[in-house]
Amino acid sequence: MVSFTGLEFLFRFFPAFLAVYYITPKKYRNTTLLLGSIIFYAVGEPYYVLLLLVMVWLNYFFAKKIYSCRDTRRGKKCRKDRLVTVLALDIGLLVLFKALGAFAGSSILPLGLSFYTFKMISFQADVFRGEMKELPTFKRTAVYFTMFPQIVSGPIMRFNEGSFLMEEREYSWEKLEEGLQYFVAGLGTKVLLADRLAILWKDIHMIGYESISTPLAWLGAAAYSMELYFDFWGYSLMASGICVMLGFPFVKNFEHPYASKSVSEFWRRWHMTLGSFFRDYVYIPLGGSRGGMPETLRNLLAVWVLTGLWHGGSLNFVLWGLALFLLISVEKIGLGKLFTRFPLIGRCYTLFLIPVTWVFFALTDLGQLGLYLERLFPFAGGGIAVNANDIWKYLGMYWHYLLVGALWCIPSVSRFLQKRRKHPLVVLLTVAVFWLSVYCLVSMENNPFAYLKF
């Protein structure tokens, strides 16, 4: 049920929740959302839901403490001490589970831990900095931490973005419609594109990386880059669409990253809520780019090592973070200026390098990573039992997904549709995408053989 693309969520939990939510008088809708979110989480994590509730309570307890010494004489030190304590608690929990996960497998990780602890950290920092006009009530804070659209994989919304004071929340049929359209767009992106391209990536894996031709290796990298984007963007659209349907503002997490003109820009447009989290709570507190180049680079390094580790505990994620650090540093030092002058070079450079960084991200086994890189850059020869024609087979099988995927990466395509979202054809397209996605979900869930044919 915790997956937005599960039939149970689509046709049971969500419609039922939505009905109850709107039947509830406005004043009590936060209570409905809180209870619904706890049920949602408890179905996915019957034990760790207790951990979540304890963490919510502890964080509120400390936030109150931080807030309460705001006017005292030794206010600053008092606040700082309390902030450090609660951050140690939040970060400690995250690090503990990440470390356990690295040894015992990621299945031990509580659902959404990486996301809700980041919300907690940002909340404490915002309280510390006095960015809250007043301390929110426990209920509102708990809703913010646990709300089901965001708990599994974000977006990492800030408390102030969420208009949790309900008088600010806006309800209307138009908003419901708008949110639903985002949701369906996300569902289609995930189910009709990401899940299909995932099969291509799996197929390539099945051959064994030592035996793929270089063109197929690049096709695989491109397909994986699209898959990852459509998977996460699709998910984020669904999450934000639900939030809009519930009266919250739309939280943007992706801004057509593959249309970027540099790697730095790519990362300002990819998983934006994570990027801005690291910017506001790591990079800038460390001094940002105010202290000259060496300090800037040190701060960047900190951000990228942490970003790598946040995504996973194995060595390939550290390498991935370091690779991005290097690419972004080089741009910061001077290459970026070239790209602003010649955007086309920047675009090609980005489209060429980002898929390579995603290969680092995808392959947790360093031996496999090495094999894949050898096939991407076959300067040293290599390759066993390579079939040079393999690229044609997979292009033949997947060209339509790749084509639609490539179009869907172009900003003006989705802007065009978004502008005309009330046009009858777009309305019908939305309905068609929804049912086609459900059709694909059912045949995948029910008939794995259709996708696992031998």
Give how far the C-alpha of residue 226 lies from the chain's centroid of Cα atoms, to the nearest Å. 14
Could you say whether residue 166 binds other proteins (CB under 8 A)?
no
| Closer to other proteins by Cβ: residue 183 or 277 | 183
Answer for which of 46, 74, 206, 381 binds other proteins (CB under 8 A) is 206
By the 8 A CB rule, do 121 and 87 touch? yes
Could you say whether residue 450 binds other proteins (CB under 8 A)?
yes
Question: What burial class does residue 427 get, using C-beta atoms within 10 Å of its C-beta: 0-12 exposed, 13-18 middle, 19+ buried?
Answer: middle
Spatial separation of the C-alpha atoms in residues 316 and 83, rounded to whole Å? 32
Spatial separation of the C-alpha atoms in residues 147 and 126, rounded to whole Å? 19
Could you say whether residue 170 binds other proteins (CB under 8 A)?
no
Q: Examine the residue annotation and report whether 256 is marked as an active-site residue of this protein.
A: no
| Closer to other proteins by Cβ: residue 101 or 383 | 383
Could you say whether residue 23 binds other proteins (CB under 8 A)?
no
Residues with Cβ within 8 Å of residue 218, at least 6 apart in sequence: 355, 376
Task: Identify the sign of the CA torsion 283, 285, 290, 295.
Answer: negative
Residues with Cβ within 8 Å of residue 124, at least 6 apart in sequence: 59, 62, 63, 66, 83, 86, 87, 90
Tokens of 134: 């007043």
Binding mask 337-356 for other proteins (x = CB under 8 A): --------------------
Contacts (CB under 8 A) with other proteins, residues 404-433: 422, 424, 427, 430-431
Rounded least distance, CB 250 to other proteins, Å: 16
Could you say whether residue 208 binds other proteins (CB under 8 A)?
yes
Could you say whether residue 214 binds other proteins (CB under 8 A)?
no
Give how far the C-alpha of residue 171 lies from the chain's centroid of Cα atoms, to the nearest Å. 26
| Closer to other proteins by Cβ: residue 123 or 394 | 394
Give how far the C-alpha of residue 253 lies from the chain's centroid of Cα atoms, to the nearest Å. 7
Run of H or E including 184:
helix 173-188
Catalytic option among 205, 271, 311, 400? 311
Could you say whether residue 12 binds other proteins (CB under 8 A)?
yes
Answer for which of 210, 255, 280, 295 binds other proteins (CB under 8 A) is 210
Q: Given the rule CB under 8 A, which of 61-69, 141-149, 158-166, 168-176 is the region that contacts other proteins?
A: 168-176
| Closer to other proteins by Cβ: residue 379 or 454 | 454
| Closer to other proteins by Cβ: residue 250 or 281 | 250
| Closer to other proteins by Cβ: residue 215 or 288 | 215
Binding mask 124-163 for other proteins (x = CB under 8 A): ----------------------------------------
By the 8 A CB rule, do 159 and 126 touch? yes
Tokens of 328: 């972004």
Spatial separation of the C-alpha atoms in residues 231 and 236, rounded to whole Å? 9
Spatial separation of the C-alpha atoms in residues 141 and 60, rounded to whole Å? 7
Contacts (CB under 8 A) with other proteins, residues 359-398: 384-387, 390, 393
| Catalytic site positions | 311
Binding site for other proteins (CB under 8 A): 7-8, 11-12, 15, 172-174, 176-177, 180-181, 184, 202, 205-208, 210-212, 384-387, 390, 393, 422, 424, 427, 430-431, 434-435, 438-439, 442-443, 445-447, 449-450, 453-454
